[in-house]
Structure 1
Amino acid sequence: MSQYTQQPQFPQAPTPAAQARNGLGTAALILGIIGALSGLVPFLFWLAGILGVIALVMGLAGRGRAKRGGATNKGVALTGAILGLVSLILSVVGAVILFKAVDDAVKDLDKATSSSSAGTESSDGSAKGKNKGKNSGKGAGTSGDSGADSQTLEAGDSAVYDDKLTLTMSAPAAYTPGEYSIGHTKGNKAYKVTLVIDNAGKEKFDAALVTTEARAGEEGVKAEQIFDDKVGEVFTGTVMPGKKATVVYAFDTPADAKNLVVEVSPDFSHDASQWELKL
């Protein structure tokens, strides 16, 4: 008999499979739902915008992870990204509604104050003339602060406002949307442009109110904005005096389009400016 007893062999347990990492997609869905609901309330447009950006980024990242096999909730991630985009749109609409209401209220109050002042001084012809002159001067100043050249600009041109706010649009460049992009239609072409805001004035500028729209071709077909992991960011925060802010946009255009018209509205106190870009 052998001096050493042979030890029995036991089968090794199978290596457990890697656990699916579904956190990004789930978080994107939750934030997208909250953002979309917040966007229905105009006063919460800022919250909808913040949550929309986060949900869009996390949803696209989660969908990419699912595509690579690292997660199993591809549909959830995509839904979260879509809700994030909806939240961004609702935030812009909410901001427009809220600030338009405030602007109308201020104008009505100013009109009522002016009417009351004119009625008080109506018995004195010289005082009435003086008041009329002051009101005319104030109106001209307000129009001047918001005005810019009304002509259509070209690539590389700048829209310069009287308060020294300057918008500059680059020439369009061909762009290839990412695999998980939103806003691009197969068979269409995509182009990206760069918008630079230069605040050379003395007052800070709220960049969150900037809105951009585009039309393509002779028929002026709406050019959808493209969102992916490289383009689609929106202006946020404040541009202080002497500072600049830059954002890259991408637009989806018909394959036969020869031009792209991009319109930028800085806010309610500045007129919109247009650039006609050759493709």
Structure 2
Amino acid sequence: MAPAPAGRNSVVPQTHLTPPPPSVLPEPAQPRPTNGAATAALVCGVIALVGGIVPGLNLVSGLVAIPAVVCGFVGLGKARRLGVGRRAAIGGILTGVLGLVLTVVVICTVFLGVDKAVKSLSTDTGSKVAGTAAATPGGQTAVLGTDAVKLGNGLEIAPAAPVAYTPGEYEGIGTGAHNYQVKVVFTNKGGKNVDLGLATATAVSDGGATRSIIDSGRGIGDFAGGTLAPGQSTTMTFGFSSETAPSYVNLDVAPGILSKAHFTYTF
């Protein structure tokens, strides 16, 4: 028997749909813990270690080594709690200590080198080789007219005793009430040439203002020396004046910039 056709009042069966389960969002990932103190220690330590070998720059890098060590120990404490940064903290401590030690070593080396260089360029005052003048603190004092002084390069300087002289009427620069001349003999007893182009002499006395005399007419004060070969000698004359008659005079004869022979004389 055929089914009856559906009419207006026929009932249509309902289809029940099961709703989907609620969506579950994944929890956000937790940020990885960081150890900033350990990182800062390593960075400062590397700077201190690299800069420690550069003179001048190590003065700054040496200061950086201190926070490297401090931050390293702080970073170690954090590494125990966070579990990260231990290697960086230890690296910062080691590089900081090494950088500090290296800085001290380089600075000491530089200062010792500079000190040695300065001493090598210091004034050569020579040593007394003749006469009986007594030694004084700070060096040996030679007597004019009695002693000679030999410098490190082998140049021997032997001045004569001061002799009073009268300048010409129109000649003499630096002349005064009392005028003296001193003949100085230079003898090269070394193995190399000696340049006397910068030879000078300076006098100090208790006769008031003591001035150097240049008296070209009498060949006094013209220290225009040239090169002195080994075994050669030359004589130059130096003059000085004072306001009153001196009881003593100290004379420094300098054949060059870095050499000087000291003499004294009692009238």
Shorter-chain TM-score: which interval? 0.3 to 0.5
Please say which structure displays the higher CA radius of gyration. 2
When normalised by structure 1's length, the TM-score is 0.46
When normalised by structure 2's length, the TM-score is 0.48
Of Structure 1 and Structure 2, the greater strand share is in 2
